[in-house]
Amino acid sequence: MQPILAYILRLRLNAFARSLRSLTGRDPFGLALALGAILGCAVFFARNIHRVEMIIMIPMLHLALVNFIHGMRKDADFLAGLGVSRRLLFLWEYSVLAVPAVCLLAFSAYPQAMVLPVVLSAIIASTPPFAWSHRRLTPSRQKAFFSSQKTLLHALRKFFTWLVPSLAFEWWGGLRQRRLALFILWTGAFLLAWQPLLLSAILFFLVITPIEFYGTGEHRSMVQALYRSPSQFLRLKVSQGFCGYAVLLTPPVMLGMVHYILRNLPSVSANTLSAQVPLFLASVVASLAVSFILASLCVVAKYAFYVEGMSFMFAVSSMVTLTLATLWHPYISIIGLSVSFSILIPKAVKRLRILFS
Amino acid sequence: MLELQNLHISYGAHTVFASVNATFREGAVHGIVGSNGKGKTTFLKALAGMIVVQSGEMLLGGASLNTRDCALLEIEPFFYPRITGAEYLRLFQFNNPDFTGVDWNRLFALPLDDEIATYSAGMKKKLALLGIIGLKPRVMLLDEPLNSLDFDTSYLLMDTLRLLAAHGTTVLLSSHIVEPLTSVCDTITWIAGEQDVQCFERPEFPTLAQKLRPGGHEEQIALVKQLLGHHRSDGGMEE
């Protein structure tokens, strides 16, 4: 490895350690969350590591993490100025991030799946982050890219404005930045519709989407521009988030349901169908309800930790991990979410009150 | 000599430069001015190899310009989160082992052991400047370097740039305002339009501001007056 690559990697690890130290050292709530998340993860993986779902879930978690980091990268020009190979650096960084996933998969039912996180890291590292991808296109392709983007974006924007005539700028920004990820989500949800893994996969993506959209803390002046009382402001943001979330994610779920029903119709008798379809619908509704609650949690957590992005990510990831970990025990999930809301909502209102004062 | 021949740069259908020619002497300080959106940043980024140039030649000393010869200071420099000033400067030492950040920091006296996140906007700009100097490029490209710098540091930077030029570095710096450039630059290039790039030499500087801005803003001022009158009749600005 080139010395400068090793140095940058070391800097990144140091920075991560500093973030963790400041997060747990300053805020007892952050410390409790960190311990809870570690405990939740340990219990979850210890109990479920041999399940087949883990072979999909662990690489997907890794993919989501890496994709999130990759999409936010702003160091392209800086690295170019230093004469560092960006792809090589990304590959090293993401491979280091893959170590926990690789270790977990080593204990799974199919240790061969260890290679998946590494391969996914390499794929993500080889693609340009979307924000600067247009610079790599040839002039003719650049022209085609811009015109196609314009048409598609205009159509999407028109549709979105019609459905969400509001100031939900997280969703505007998220839609612009993550449309490729959303396209993959929609296609994936459709293709997975016949799989037994459907629910966990959809739930996972439904949770990841709002986290990604709400990941960026808007500038304080933007929050103040939407001046309301803290509680009103929070209600407004939750409803906007809820609305944007429903608009974007209901179509793939519906598509998946239709696909599932069409696929199963010929193979089952009328009796089994009447028993199977309501069960399927009930589980879809349940998973949608959980993900809607988690989406609201994202909004509340954002303002509870405003504008510390790292704390926000950590809090929401902890909640999601705990929810997923206790998915097989609905009462624990409900208690966990209720406790989270009862802590986070007053915290968010308090933080907003300081902003508005 | 840094030569640009028939440079063509566009973003999709939007053309920024069409068949632009310009020359810049080596070992001199050159100012780039122009209105918002005319392409000052694009121009500098193209030289640094950060933007695709559709056609044209960029030559340095008669040979094709190697982007490794250029270093660009962006308007908002990038810093990895949660790293210290010293760690940042150490990055530049890999390209130039002779560069000692601590010695150069005597220029600005930045708290290098603190995390960059605790720096003010001006301190960040100074740190990024030290990094660029550390790269020791043949062509130094500075995009709005005076933004967020205090009065004293601005003069210090100007004098430093003159010294760098005397040591053979070609400096190109952009600005929205002409006046600060006249004291330090050997030439000032005005980007007026996609095909209209004009170069002015030092003897022309005293009358430059008038040349670049022949008319006033009578129409706009009339509009502001009209709008202010409109607000007053409505009972104040909308909240």
Contacts of A33 (CB under 8 A, 6+ apart): A314, A315, A318
Q: Which residues in A130-154 are b (16+ Cβ under 10 Å) and which e?
A: beeebeebeeeebbeebeeeeeeee
SS3 state at A55: helix
Which of B17, B45, B47, B52 is the mutation pick for testing A, counting most A CBs within 10 A? B52
More confident residue, A114 or A344: A114
Query: For residue B239, what pLDDT is reported?
Result: 37
Distance of alpha carbon A102 from alpha carbon A114, whole angstroms: 5
User: Quick check: B126 and B108 in contact, CB under 8 A?
Assistant: yes
Query: For residue A25, what pLDDT is reported?
Result: 58
Statement: residue B33 has pLDDT above 70: yes
Statement: residue A356 has pLDDT above 80: no
Helix (H) or strand (E) holding A63: helix A53-71
Q: State pLDDT tens for residues A4-23.
A: 889 999 998 888 888 777 66
Helix ranges (DSSP H) in A127-229: 139-163, 169-177, 179-191, 198-213, 220-225
CB of A19 within 8 Å of any CB in chain B?
Answer: yes
Statement: residue A192 has pLDDT above 70: no
The pair of structure tokens assigned to A337 is 């979410």
Helix (H) or strand (E) holding B178: none
> Residues of A numbered 146-185 whose beta carbons fall under 8 angstroms of chain B's beta carbons: which are they?
146-147
Nearest to B54 by CA among B110, B6, B90: B6
Asked if A15 lies within 8 A of B83 by C-beta distance, the reply is: yes
**Across all residues in chain A, what is the average pLDDT?**
71
Percentage of chain A with pLDDT > 70? 47
More confident residue, B3 or A186: B3
Query: For residue A221, what pLDDT is reported?
Result: 64
Statement: residue A136 has pLDDT above 50: no
Chain B closest-CA separation from residue A100 CA (Å): 23
* CA B27 to the chain's CA centroid: 17
Residue A93's φ and ψ, nearest 5 degrees, are -60, -50
Asked if B51 lies within 8 A of A135 by C-beta distance, the reply is: yes
Statement: residue A190 has pLDDT above 80: no
Q: State pLDDT tens for residues A137-168.
A: 455 554 554 455 455 556 655 665 555 545 56
User: Quick check: B69 and B15 in contact, CB under 8 A?
Assistant: no
Statement: residue B235 has pLDDT above 80: no
The DSSP line for B34-65 is E-TTSSHHHHHHHHTT-S---EEEEEETTEEP
User: Quick check: B143 and B40 in contact, CB under 8 A?
Assistant: yes
CB of A82 within 8 Å of any CB in chain B?
Answer: yes
Q: State pLDDT tens for residues B76-104.
A: 888 888 888 998 998 888 888 888 888 89
Q: Which residue of A has its CA nearest to B239?
A: A225
Query: For residue B187, what pLDDT is reported?
Result: 92
Distance of alpha carbon B144 from alpha carbon B125, whole angstroms: 10
Phi-psi region of A122 (alpha: psi -120 to 50; beta: other; left: phi over 0): alpha
Which of A95-109, A186-200, B45-59 shows the lowest mean pLDDT across its residues? A186-200
Q: Interior CA angle at A61 toward A57 and A65, to 5°?
A: 170
**Average pLDDT value for residue range B192-205:** 84
Chain B closest-CA separation from residue A69 CA (Å): 13
Residues of A whose CB is below 8 A from B82:
14-15, 18-19
- One-letter amino acid at A46 equals A
Q: Interior CA angle at B86 toward B80 and B91, to 5°?
A: 60
Which of B14-18, B76-80, B149-153, B234-238 shows the lowest mean pLDDT across its residues? B234-238
Q: What is the edge-to-edge ordering of all strands in the sheet holding B139-142?
A: B70-73, B139-142, B170-175, B29-34, B187-191, B197-201
Query: For residue A163, what pLDDT is reported?
Result: 55
Which of A103-117, A203-217, B44-58, B205-219 shows the lowest mean pLDDT across its residues? A203-217
Q: State pLDDT tens for residues A266-307.
A: 555 555 656 666 766 676 677 667 667 777 877 888 888 776
Nearest to B41 by CA among B6, B75, B17: B75
More confident residue, A311 or B106: B106
Residues of A whose CB is below 8 A from B87:
11, 14
Statement: residue B184 has pLDDT above 80: yes
The pair of structure tokens assigned to A222 is 């933007």
- One-letter amino acid at A336 equals G
Statement: residue A316 has pLDDT above 70: no
Asked if A3 lies within 8 A of B48 by C-beta distance, the reply is: no
Contacts of A155 (CB under 8 A, 6+ apart): none
Q: State pLDDT tens for residues B124-176.
A: 999 999 999 988 889 999 999 988 888 888 889 999 999 999 999 999 999 88
Chain A closest-CA separation from residue B22 CA (Å): 23
Query: For residue B183, what pLDDT is reported?
Result: 86
Q: State pLDDT tens for residues B207-231.
A: 887 777 767 678 888 888 888 886 6
Q: pLDDT band at residue A24, thresholds of 50, 70 and 90?
A: low
Residues of B whose CB is below 8 A from A8:
80, 91
Q: Which of A7, A12, A142 has its CB closest to that of B94?
A: A7
Query: For residue A329, what pLDDT is reported?
Result: 59
Query: For residue A102, what pLDDT is reported?
Result: 93
Query: For residue A137, what pLDDT is reported?
Result: 46
Chain B closest-CA separation from residue A72 CA (Å): 12
Which of A137-151, A311-325, B57-71, B166-180 shows the lowest mean pLDDT across its residues? A137-151
Asked if A80 lies within 8 A of B68 by C-beta distance, the reply is: no
Helix (H) or strand (E) holding B24: strand B14-24
More confident residue, A103 or A226: A103
Residue B194 vs residues A39, B61, B141: alpha-carbon distances, Å: 61, 25, 20
Q: Which of A8, A82, A138 has its CB closest to that of B95?
A: A82
The pair of structure tokens assigned to B131 is 């990094």
SS3 state at B4: strand
Which of A231-245, B50-64, B143-157 shows the lowest mean pLDDT across its residues? A231-245
Query: For residue B32, what pLDDT is reported?
Result: 92
Asked if A136 lies within 8 A of B87 by C-beta distance, the reply is: no
Query: For residue B13, what pLDDT is reported?
Result: 74
For chain A, how long is the longest CA-to-CA vector?
A: 68
Query: For residue A188, what pLDDT is reported?
Result: 66
User: The tokens 């519709």 sit on which residue?
Assistant: A193
Percentage of chain A with pLDDT > 90? 5
Statement: residue B26 has pLDDT above 80: yes
Asked if B83 lies within 8 A of A14 by C-beta distance, the reply is: yes
CB of A135 within 8 Å of any CB in chain B?
Answer: yes
More confident residue, A195 or A170: A170
User: The tokens 């890219």 sit on which residue?
Assistant: A145
The B-side interface with A (CB below 8 A) comprises 10-13, 45, 48-52, 54, 67-68, 71-72, 74, 77-78, 80-83, 87, 90-92, 94-95, 115, 135
The count of CB pairs under 8 A between chains A and B is 72
**Average pLDDT value for residue range A208-236:** 68
Distance of alpha carbon B159 from alpha carbon B36, whole angstroms: 27
Q: Is the dihedral of CA A266, A272, A278, A283 positive or negative?
A: negative
Which of A2, A4, A69, A228 is the mutation pick for testing B, counting most B CBs within 10 A? A4
Asked if B94 lies within 8 A of A3 by C-beta distance, the reply is: yes
